[in-house]
Amino acid sequence: MNTLQQLETEMRSRGFSRRTVDSYLFHVSQFSKKVSPESTDEDTQKYFISLSERLDARTINLRISAVKFFYENVLGKELKINYMKRAKRLPEVLTKEEVSGIINSISNTKHRLLIETIYGCGLRVSEAIRLRKEDLRFNEGVLFVRQGKGRKDRIVTLPSAISSRLAAYLISRNDANPYTFDSSRGGHLSVKSAQKIVEKAVIKANIKKNVHVHTLRHSYATHLLEQGTDLRIIQKLLGHADIKTTQLYTQVSTALIKNVKSPLDTLDINAPQEAKGEQK
């Protein structure tokens, strides 16, 4: 058994998702082509620094995590290198009017319901495309998110605005496919298909922001915050393990920022008199 096979066995025995296993195997394989296990920590650090010329810090840090896991759990060595410092960028968020514009621009029933479900339930795209019919509890007004990020289940509110249309859509299909958003090739829609649906809708709605499928989830969280939903509840709905992740949305809410009154507006001051001869 070679080292990559050992890595796969170790990860699968710990219950890592198939996606994570494949990702780690790929990154370790690529790393091993460039860096020897006998290399010093300093040389290894320099290798990852060199990647910053073409990759962002988040991508590099994923590769570092994969390699560190490999060293510690397969090679039995401690790799003392630092993660790359990530730039603090706020996520793009849509206004409610922009979300309406995107939804209203979609005429295909399945595609529209997919986008409404992602936004209306704050789902990750992977969670939405894998949503099963049995996880839609119409009578209870909720849906189950099975094995989301971190392999955790959670329950979210099923919006009444789409509940009856989702039920009617599934009845009209009358098929044995277990997935809510099926593919013509069998199984469920792909992530790429969902991305294309959003891309086309954004163009049709004439929105100039840099919008991706995940932008709908960011917008859901921000709009919940703006309507007064407790941050802890938003954390549960999004499936965040750490409240600090959810707190990011307190920094991106334009509506909340607009409602903050500047102390200058509270002062009792007179409008200035325009001096004679002062240029306008």
Q: Which of 149, 154, 200, 204 is catalytic?
A: 149
Q: Which of 112, 124, 218, 223 is catalytic?
A: 124
Q: How many CB atoms lie within 10 A of CB 254?
A: 11
244 is catalytic: no
Count Cα atoms within 13 angstroms, Cβ side, for 162. 24
Is 166 in contact with 113 (CB distance < 8 Å)? yes
Residues with Cβ < 8 Å from 256, sequence gap 6 or more? 225, 226, 250
**Sheet with 136-137: strands ordered across:** 136-137, 142-145, 154-157
Report the number of secondary-structure helices (H) and strands (E) in the chain: 13, 3
Q: Which of 110, 146, 154, 214 is catalytic?
A: 214
188 is catalytic: no
- Identify the CA nearest to 7 among candidates 37, 19, 22: 22
217 is catalytic: yes
Q: How many CB atoms lie within 10 A of CB 196?
A: 13
Phi then psi for residue 74, to 5 deg, are: -115, -50
Number of residues that this document lists for the chain:
280
Alpha carbons 84 and 214: distance in angstroms, whole number: 24
240 is catalytic: yes
- Identify the CA nearest to 116 among candidates 159, 169, 155, 154: 159
214 is catalytic: yes
Q: Which of 27, 130, 217, 223 is catalytic?
A: 217
Extract the tokens encoding 136. 């839609």
Q: Which of 71, 119, 220, 249 is catalytic?
A: 249
149 is catalytic: yes
Extract the tokens encoding 166. 């989702």
Annotated active-site positions, please? 124, 149, 214, 217, 240, 249
